[in-house]
Chains A and B, each alone.
Chain A
Amino acid sequence: MSAYLKQDEPDNVNRLDHMRQGVLGTDASRIEGLLKVTGTAPYAAEYQLDDCLEGVLVTATISKGEVTAIDADSVLSMPGVVAVIDDPSLTARAAQGTAGEAPAQPAREVGYFGQPIALVVAESFEQARDASKHLKVSYRADDDVAFDPEAVEAEPQDGATSQGDLAHAMKEAPFSVDVTYTTEGHSSAAMEPHAAIAQWDGDTLTVYASLQMLNYNISELADSLGLDEDKLRLVSRYVGGGFGSKLGVSEETVAASVAAMELGRPVRVAMLRQQVLQCIMRRSETRQRFRLAAGEDGKLTGFGHEARVSNLPGESFAEPVLQSSHFLYAGENRELSMEVARIHRMTAGSVRAPGEAVGMPALECAMDVLAEKCGLDPVELRLRNIPDRHPANGTPFSSHKLAECLKQGAEAFGWDSGPRSPRHTREGEWWVGTGMASAARVHNVGEAKARVTLKADGTALVETDMTDIGTGTYTILAQTVGEMLGLPVAKVLVELGDTHHPRGPGSGGSWGAASICSAAYLACLALRETLAKRADVAEEKLELKDGAVVGGASLIDLLDGRDLAEEGHYEPGDIADDFTASGFGAFFARVRVNRFTGETRVEHMTGAFGFGRVLNTKTARSQCLGGMTWSIGAALTEAMLFDPVDGHLANCDLAEYHVPVNRDVPDLDVVFVEERDGAASPIQAKGIGELGMCGGAGAIANAIYNACGARVFEFPMTPDKVLAAMPD
């Protein structure tokens, strides 16, 4: 039995359901938990290296142009200052996710205000930070730089859908909706600022960094530095949140590396919080027009979704706003198209659930408007519009749990399917109302390798360069391997985030869990083959539990003093073209809106999700809670505010970029809808890191309308926007 699988066919055998250990799918606590709660889990900036220098990035004070001179002497005489690094290898932006090659170089070519252009290195952080503010830089600044995405011509994107005659369908339809929503830019704002420590021994560079996808990052960094990959080691054992912002190698990692190689001493570079917001990938703002045409029965006859997003010139990424709109609802007449405005704000890239995070809430608001027009319960409207197959390309769904999510979610929430009209409930100063939305997030998988070693002492070791960015990778790998090899979780050691290990898929696009656990599963299948032979049974009949063959020999006996290792190698196959695979769900929210001030507070939220096999109920629930919390931020508070004069990010800190705080988040209920999706992965699992925010903000927006009668068409729905739309 090979430990390699390119999945071309669905796997509906569900081997994992027939294993004996019973640890997969449980609520096992995180195996690294005690390290996190005691502050002993090391993050990138926390490795203690002797003689380590401190670097602070210097950022551009123009929006477009080039650095013509950097006067290193202006700071070299300052106490402790060791060097000014302005090597052409320095990168101007972070790499886009899965780029696998160097991002834009050199840093001297400025594309946005706040772009890193140089690094000041000193003996202490205090010295470097001070000197970074004193470095004299000369620029040639371009005139007539575009900052406003609405003020420039936009480029059409490939991949548009045009089917039937939407305009005609709109005209003929008894019910139609033509509405436009806007969403503001979002920042990932992970709690751990981007940071790296680089150490060069004259031959090999070791970099402790905060990155999500070491399998790509190693190529990106090697390419940036002109170094062979085998001379490079990346370590990211703990990542203090990524949410897309650490997908590609970023400026501080390259700068620390260049400095360490130039100076022959370890160099630590951590972005200042303001730099994190100014330099890392933003989620593009969006403008989205929906045209929905429905018959008397509420069934869609036409579906239009046109979106405008923005990015820097030359960046290939465009916030994929239409991603789930392509398949979520029926409607034979379809127009889906996107355009990209080229402007000089920082790079637009992946921020948690790129596309659906802003596309789904807007779509779900438009559906709410349609439900009202049709006089249909919004849950019922959605149930009537679930297509049998992909409405454009006709592929079957690998598995589809939207209806179950809508029904189970409605029941858990206590959804009232009776007639709806705004302002039905007032409690003191507050209008109280409810709203709902569907959830959808396309399913992805990536190539993944993991080595599983059964140690002679009867424990197992899992090794891969896969990362755990808070998602629970450590734990679900221990559970998967424990399940397959009949070991309790405590007997499985998991080592992640080190490029000395086999290449994992990286954490991103919600693909990590299904991909890396599939690789580990394959390695375990191969190990089981060997064990089965030694136990003299067929692999399919091999029952392992608590370190022994059930009713037979122990693993230690079967191993007979020697370790046994297999590398699992999973690769997505043609199956991706044969099926449309997606996670689905439904959100239900109750909010209160202050009738005087327009302040909105979420009182309760329920999310029901179907995302294939649940590997760990505790960590999967946490992923859903996180997504729902982000939904609250996207609905009510999060907006990047760009200066109209020079395009800089005005609210570049955590005081003024408003991510939700504890008090913003009410009781949240999560319902898992039972599902096995054999076409999604060999372990029948799909991703859950993003689904929890793909539509949630729409449920909140719809609840605002139901509470107070304000139809707001702009996210986030801050008090000013709610008041402006609130009827007297």
Chain B
Amino acid sequence: MSSENTVSINGQPHALPDDPRVSLLDMLRHHLGLTGTKKGCDHGQCGACTVLVNGVRINSCLTLAVMHDGDEVTTIEGLGTAENPSALQRAFVERDAYQCGYCTPGQICSATAMLDEIAAGWPSDASDSLDGPMEVSTEEIRERMSGNICRCGAYANIVDAIRDVAGEPA
């Protein structure tokens, strides 16, 4: 398969859907069976569908699959497996940073990108100064993770899990 009219999902090329209405989220869930990416609202209001496109976190519900010709998409399935989980995935289990688990893949995808954004010095609404370096403080994490709603109310533990990983030596 050429890269023309394909999108790479977790390193595997996939043909783009024929119906341009198919969101990237529905392509993952309905067409590819990659149901780790969740549909919570379908309108960019909850963050459950967060994936990484070319390393950047976005809501996969608010983008059409056909717009991602040639893009590299990473989903929760691409971040780690039960046998070989990522540091964030392990930390979420250890800290009980979830309850029902439905928002969890989005939280973890989001947190994965967020740590890169902080490392890159991107400011947030919670930053005292717009200029870096940015801290991985609780207030920064809370603001930067506010695009991922958890109705069970696991936020306090989500912040702890992320801090655990951010504090880990490289």
Contact = CB atoms under 8 A, between A and B. Distances in A.
B73 interface: no
B80 interface: yes
B35 A39 contact: yes
A29 B94 contact: yes
Nearest to A656: B45
24 contacts: A29-B96, A36-B92, A36-B101, A37-B90, A37-B101, A37-B108, A38-B76, A38-B89, A42-B35, A46-B29, A240-B38, A240-B100, A470-B98, A622-B99, A622-B154, A626-B99, A629-B153, A653-B41, A654-B45, A659-B149, A659-B151, A662-B148, A667-B138, A668-B156
A237 to B, nearest CB: 11
Contacts of A668: 156
B159 interface: yes
Contact of A40 (B36, B48, B141, B145): B36
A37 B98 contact: yes
B44 to A, nearest CB: 8
Contacts of B29: 45-46
A514 interface: no
A469 interface: yes
Interface stretch (A188-196, A297-305, A427-435, A592-600): A188-196
B83 to A, nearest CB: 9
Contacts of B142: 662-663, 665
A37 B104 contact: yes
Contacts of A654: 40-41, 43, 45-46, 149
Interface in A454-479: 469-472
A37 B102 contact: no
A653 B45 CA distance: 8
B43 A655 contact: yes
Interface in B95-115: 96, 98-105, 108
A187 B40 CA distance: 15
A39 B37 contact: yes
Interface size class of A (residues with CB under 8 A): 35 or more
A191 B103 contact: yes
Given A192-B40, A663-B143, A668-B156, A243 B99 contact: no
A32 B80 CA distance: 15
Given A36-B101, A39-B36, A663-B142, A191 B150 contact: yes
A39 B77 contact: yes
Interface string B26-53: 1001100111111111110110100000
B96 A618 contact: yes
Contacts of A206: none
B85 interface: yes
A397 interface: no
Interface string A175-192: 000000000000011111
Contacts of A191: 38, 40, 46, 48, 100, 102-103, 149-152
Interface string B43-83: 10110100000000000000000000000000111011110
A627 B151 CA distance: 10
Interface of B: 19, 21-22, 26, 29-30, 33-43, 45-46, 48, 75-77, 79-82, 85, 89-90, 92-94, 96, 98-105, 108, 126, 138-139, 141-143, 145-159
A170 interface: no
Interface in A143-190: 188-190
A41 B38 CA distance: 11
Contacts of A642: none
Among all A-B residue pairs, the 10 with the closest Cβ atoms: A39-B36, A629-B153, A240-B102, A470-B100, A470-B99, A36-B101, A626-B153, A33-B93, A39-B76, A46-B35
B86 to A, nearest CB: 9
Contacts of B100: 190-192, 238-242, 469-470
Contact of A241 (B79, B102, B156): B102
Interface string A14-43: 000000000000000110111111111111
A239 B105 CA distance: 15
Contacts of A125: 26, 30
A661 B26 contact: no
Contact of B153 (A29, A35, A628): A628
A625 B156 contact: yes
A124 B148 CA distance: 28
Contact of B85 (A37, A45, A629, A653): A37
Given A43-B35, A621-B96, A653-B43, 17 more contacts: A30-B93, A32-B101, A37-B80, A37-B98, A38-B89, A39-B34, A39-B77, A40-B82, A46-B35, A190-B102, A193-B41, A471-B99, A627-B153, A629-B153, A661-B146, A663-B142, A663-B146
A126 interface: yes
Contacts of A625: 153-157
Nearest to B33: A48
Nearest to B26: A125
Interface string A247-289: 0000000000000000000000010110000000000000000
A240 B101 contact: yes
A472 B96 CA distance: 10
A626 B102 CA distance: 15
A630 interface: yes
A41 B101 contact: yes
Contacts of B141: 662
A354 B80 CA distance: 39
A37 B93 contact: yes
A65 interface: no
Contact of B26 (A36, A126, A629, A659): A126
A25 B37 CA distance: 33
A662 B158 contact: yes
A126 B61 CA distance: 13
A619 interface: yes
Contacts of A655: 43, 45
Interface in A620-679: 621-623, 625-630, 653-655, 659-663, 665, 667-668
Contacts of A653: 41, 43, 45
Nearest to A129: B21
A215 to B, nearest CB: 20
B82 A34 contact: yes
A626 B26 contact: no
Interface in A371-405: none
Given A39-B37, A190-B151, A191-B151, A273 B45 contact: yes
Contact of B92 (A33, A273, A470): A33
A461 B139 CA distance: 43
A607 to B, nearest CB: 11
B152 A626 contact: yes
B154 A193 contact: no
Contacts of B157: 622, 625
B45 A629 contact: no
Contacts of B34: 39
